[in-house]
Each structure stands twice: as structure tokens, then as C-alpha cells.
Structure 1
């Protein structure tokens, strides 16, 4: 791995088509900075994305990438990591992709504890399909398809992760560039499944969970006496409904990744006999 990689090396030549001001810009920049700071480079990085605005991220980042189907990004990422444990695998998605149709995969990815990271851009709405309520939308959040609100409590993804046996749970805010990159970096460095829920505001369809709201509501755990190694403390913070926290909520320092437990090592990927010379160079150029 290169030691002089800059985060800009992870930028592709494709221009993002996100709405101006979308929180996903900041989320992606933090992901790229975290990958560079941990000594990774595009040649050893694989980005898997789901469906939704966040699903475009693999196109906008320069690395190996796969744009999967709705809710299925995590099993694809696990398959990539099992086939080649030497790759740095980062899965990205949105709250709709990960906590609705992908919720079952989320639970099992958490409990398997594969050494990879999962960054979820949580804007509390379906943005790509024009503003329907998502699993994390507020109970009274009015949209064109739910004019009286969803009338059901929002999913708490951090609680779901903790109950499923997570070894790393964090929350970030895309607008706080330095802290966001630091938090994602910690997820990448964690030995196991590093889960980061990112507040990534939708400026087009969500006029409630805005940048101003999160700036006023967020409490940085680094400015409190929170101990991320204390699971009970983590549970209390995760279940507290009156505050939005930023930082590492829980980390098991004794975490043993699935690959280590099962003795998975070495790449399964081999160039078939008779493959034309330069085949892998063509693959890299394609991605």
C-alpha cells in the first residue's frame, strides 16, 4: 500500500449529480480522507453501494466498485471480503437502502463481524424517489405520500446494531468535516464490522432534519465523559431520544473478526489460465 496517498486520489473523473448542498458530498469526502489516512489506496480498495442517492458513490470514487441492487450491498461486500481479505472493503448506503429492504442483511452482517466498514448516509427520507418517508423519518413527518406522517416510531439503527452484537457503533455528521473523517477512520481501523450512521441532510425534500437542526442538536461524545468500551453507557446513549450524539458510541477492543475466527486468508481471485496478457490492467481501467 502506498504511504503517500492523498484523499483526492480516491476522486473519480465523474462529476456528482447530487443536489447542491446535499450532505452526501461531505460524507464521501470523509470516506476518502479516512481511506487515505489509514494507508489505503484505490488499488486495494473496494466500494460497494446500494440504491438511492448514496448508491452513486462508487461512481464518484476512484477504486474498485460495484453498484448493487436495493438493500443488497452488505452481502456483496461480505462476499468481496471473503474472496480477497487483503482488500479494504467499504460499503455505503442510505437509511432506506440499509434499514428497510436491507434490514435483514444489516443484522446478520453486524453479528458476523467481518472486517469491513459500513457507512450509512441517513437523511431520514427517500430522496432519489422524491421525498417519501423512510425508516428513520420522524413519526409526524409529513410527506406527499404520508400527509399525516408515517404514524410509527422511527427505526433506531444504533439500537438494532447493539442488539445484534455489534463491535463498533458510531454516529457522525457530514457537515463536520474533520470529526466525520476521524470517526470513519476509526471504523476502518477497527478489527471487525465498523458501522457508522452519518447524519447527511437532504436539502431538497427534508426541511425538518436540516443542517441547522443537527448543528444545534448534536452533542459530541468527545466532549463528555462517555466511555465507548462501556456497553451499558452505549445503550443509554443510543436509547436516549432527546439528544443526537456524534462520535464512537461503542467499541469492543477485544473484537475478533470473522475471517480470523474462521481462518480465512489469501485471495481466491486468480487470473484464469489462458487469460490475455494485461487482463487485470483492463479490469482496473474499467473500474
Structure 2
């Protein structure tokens, strides 16, 4: 059983390798709208399966309690975030964190897009010439969270129930739980712009786009597929290793940590999929500068 979005048809399960364009009707980007019409499909397909995203073993009651807490904290955003199908002629820039952005001078080009998605704690200050300054949506999870200005959407990627609990508590009492690394107790962001990606979307991307049953997609790859559901034109910047195979960030030194890899993510496979989508004109891929170590 495939998880359904809150409203709309079942998600498309096309094969990106044959160049099929992604359907846009499924509203995966939920404005904290994880209500009962979505609950049972998550229960049977994701949260209680043997292939959970971050291997969290908790009862479904915990999930329901976390959802209830979100809806109480964000009562004005209990509807699906509207991704207008009438006014969809807009461009998305998805800005990755790769070292290949160094020296690219993509900043002005990135800022010219209608929507600019960035991931985790990637900085813009000091790197404006290469990465731009505009951020309309910031995708994050508790372990990668940072404060936002009043015009940026906080987009939570919930890999586990704890992530939903964190969001609610970070805006109210303060979070005092623990995770696999330190987590901020509070966060500053515009409460009316908080969004949550449907948990089923993460599983859908892992299975339908990457063909994987274990592990989970990177924040960067999720951002690209989400952008394909949001905009008519998607332009991708700052992805992939450098020419020597180093996976580095643009705000670090090139090759400073040769042991840095992509963790549980399938970095090389994701990169191949992005290039394949570019060949089939599903998106435009900007390679940047392949730095030498």
C-alpha cells in the first residue's frame, strides 16, 4: 500500500529514466496537515514497517499524539498548503551544498528565480557571489535546524516521530529530548510559514525515484523532487562531488576531510538520477566548478 497525500490522487510512480515528467497534482507539501485521512496509510506503510526511515521503534499512538500537538500549536495551518495549479508558471532554484558552487558566480542567477530552496544550515553570508542571498524555503530536520527570517518558509522533513515533536516543542515549551546528535531546544521562524513534508513523500522518493527499500534520500534530493511538484521550471545548483571524488561543502575547504561521505544516502546514485533528469529536460542542471584538491 503506497502512502497517499492528504488530498488528491495517489502519487505518480513513474520511471525518471524514460523521461516521464513528474505529475504535479499530489500536494506533498503539507502546511502541518497530518490529519486522520492520512494516518492509516502511514501506519501500515511507513511507521510500523520493518524499513522505517531512521529505524525509530515507537507506537503509532506516539505518532498520533505528535500530530495532535502540531495541529494545536499551528491551528491556522491545518489545510494543505496550496501549490496553485493556476499560477504555476514560476521557476525554482534548488541550491545544494556542494563545493562545486565555489567560484561559480551563480548568485545573481539564483536570486532571479521565483522560488529558492536551500537545505539545512548552508550559509549565504560571505558566499553571496556564488550562492545568492534569496531564500524562500529552507528544508531542515531538527539536527540541522537554524533560525530563519520572517519571510522564509521553514520546511520540516520528518524522518521520525521525534522530528514532529521537536517542531511543536521548539515553538512552545522548548525541546528537551535527545537524538543521535545535539538538537536545538528552540527555533526562531515565522510561525505562519511553517510547513511539513508529508512523511509518505520521503518513502515515495526513496522507492519510486531511487528504487531503494532501505536508507533514505538526502535532503538535497528530496528538495529537487519537491521542487518538481511546485514549479514549472526547476534549476539545480551545487550538487555532486568534486573532480577528485571529494564530497565537500562550499563553505569548507576543498577536500579538507577525505573521509567525508554521504552517510546513509546514495550520493552517487542520486547524482546520476539528477543528470538523467537533466538529459530528459525535467530540470536544468548547473554543474558549477569541479574543484581540484
The structure whose residues are more often strand, as a share, is 1
For the superposition of Structure 1 and Structure 2, which TM-score range results when normalised by the shorter chain? Answer: under 0.3
The two structures have a TM-score, normalised by structure 2, of 0.23
